[in-house]
Amino acid sequence: MEIPREFSQRRFDLDWLRVIAILFVFVFHTTRFFDPLDWHVKNGTTYELLAFTAAFFTLWGMPLIFVISGASLYFALRHSRSKFVGDKVRRLLVPLVVGVFTFSAIQVYLERITHRQFSGSFFDFIPHYFDGWYPFDGGNFAWMGMHLWFLELLFLYTLLLMPLLYWLKNGSGQNALRSLGDLLARPFVVFSVSIPVVLLLVVLDPNTIWGARAFGAWSLVPYLLFLFAGFVVMSHERVQQRIMQYRWLSFALAGIITIALVGFYAQNGEPIYGTWMYSVFFALFGLASWCWIQTVLGFGFKYLNAPRPILAYVGEAVLAFYILHQTVLLVVGYFVVRWQIPDLLKWGIIAVVSFAVIMLLYEFVVRRFNVMRFLFGMKPLTKRAHSFQDVTGFGDGIPRKKPVTS
């Protein structure tokens, strides 16, 4: 079996995985107009089957993005603490604040008028945007940036973990990190990464702030573990080799467990917290999540660690794409769902038009102007880097050397 060596030297696979993950987020959100679950803007007709597709994506989608972000943190920590924090402020906090006071207001407005909670123009709504805290008690001010909650959480968790991560990579904790990697590199032990996630899913009460599954259908705390897991995986080459070796096994386990979860949910609905059925269901949920993540990482490590000319462009665009995508989708969808045409055609129009609008906005409004680049967390053109991780808000400047393969 060919195994890429010197993983830490050049990680095109992380570049591609991040682009693919964000595209999955986009496609997932194009379906939200048509599923039966509550969302900002809904089509007149919804489809029960799409509830299961939504559940499938939430099983692994955002956890995977946190794992990839944690992997990027491993490389970012070669900088000083002050530079590291400064980069996080520029790449995460600045676009978050911009989004809170611009794009988020549009999203809340569209939700309020489609849910018949407000009438009037967007300009009439602007003074009311600061009435209360969204989504508490019907408030409007989107302090978390709506879909940009990911940037907020990643920023806070990165600062929280920073002392530990610096100690593990650059301080006296290097031996501890190496020992943890050695343990996970043993046969099948890498699957045990799911255990702390499982414990949290089983123990945390979904009726509390810490257990409420309100962020990508997950509660707040497990994301911290996924972020740390990505850091640990990227710190140890043999762990990555194990993940790549077990990619087909991970895929089989993930598929089997997911089918069992879907069958149980279709028959019984979500079990009640505190019951043994709840514990079993969410234990399997956590295991399936990690197996799907291992599957994606395994295939990514195997096949995606190679440069492509388009990667420099799409890699740089991915953060702006993420920031813009949900607002554009909601604006386009707000009009399209009212058309008297087949719903499948509506979905296609929403997806194609929204994608085109996002890319046009990026190319002609964001990418070419340093002020806009700053507001979207990008480096200025005069200091533009070729590394995907150097120019996006998710990545963190991985050193670029020629990869070595066996």
Domain-wise residue ranges, the chain: 7-391
Return all residues near 273 (Cβ < 8 A) that are at least 6 apart: 205, 206, 207
d(CA 197, CA 283): 8
Q: pLDDT tens digits, residue range 294-338? A: 999 999 999 998 888 899 999 999 999 999 999 999 999 999 999
In this prediction, residue 372 has a pLDDT band, given cuts at 50, 70 and 90, of: very high
Please give the helix or strand (H or E) that residue 290 lies within, else none. Answer: helix 276-303
**Mean pLDDT over each residue of the chain, to the nearest integer:** 91
Q: Would the pLDDT of 176 be above 50?
A: yes
Q: Would the pLDDT of 396 be above 60?
A: no
Q: Would the pLDDT of 394 be above 50?
A: no
pLDDT value for 10: 63
Return all residues near 51 (Cβ < 8 A) that are at least 6 apart: 35, 36, 37
Q: pLDDT tens digits, residue range 6-36? A: 344 568 999 999 999 999 999 999 999 999 9
Q: Would the pLDDT of 162 be above 70?
A: yes
pLDDT value for 18: 96
Enter the DSSP assignment of 91: I
Q: pLDDT tens digits, residue range 215-253? A: 999 999 999 999 999 999 999 999 999 999 999 999 999
Q: pLDDT tens digits, residue range 42-62? A: 999 999 999 999 999 999 999
Higher-pLDDT residue of 80, 235:
235
Q: In the chain, pLDDT over 90 holds for what percent of residues?
A: 83
pLDDT value for 137: 78
d(CA 138, CA 117): 9
Burial of 327: CB neighbours in 10 Å, binned 0-12, 13-18, 19+: buried
Average of per-residue pLDDT across 346-375: 98
Residue with tokens 């514990």: 279
370, 381 in Cβ contact below 8 A? Answer: yes
Q: In the chain, pLDDT over 70 holds for what percent of residues?
A: 92
Cross-strand bridge partners of residue 404: 5
Average of per-residue pLDDT across 84-97: 96
Q: Would the pLDDT of 402 be above 80?
A: no
Cross-strand bridge partners of residue 215: 218
pLDDT value for 171: 85
pLDDT value for 9: 55
d(CA 253, CA 17): 21
d(CA 262, CA 194): 19
Higher-pLDDT residue of 138, 47:
47
For residue 293, give Cα distances in angstroms to 17, 42, 60, 94, 229.
Answer: 11, 30, 6, 29, 11
Least confident of 45-59, 70-84, 327-341, 354-368: 70-84
In this prediction, residue 78 has a pLDDT band, given cuts at 50, 70 and 90, of: confident
In this prediction, residue 180 has a pLDDT band, given cuts at 50, 70 and 90, of: very high
Please give the helix or strand (H or E) that residue 192 lies within, else none. Answer: none
Closest C-alpha to 316, from 231, 398, 373: 373
275, 264 in Cβ contact below 8 A? Answer: no
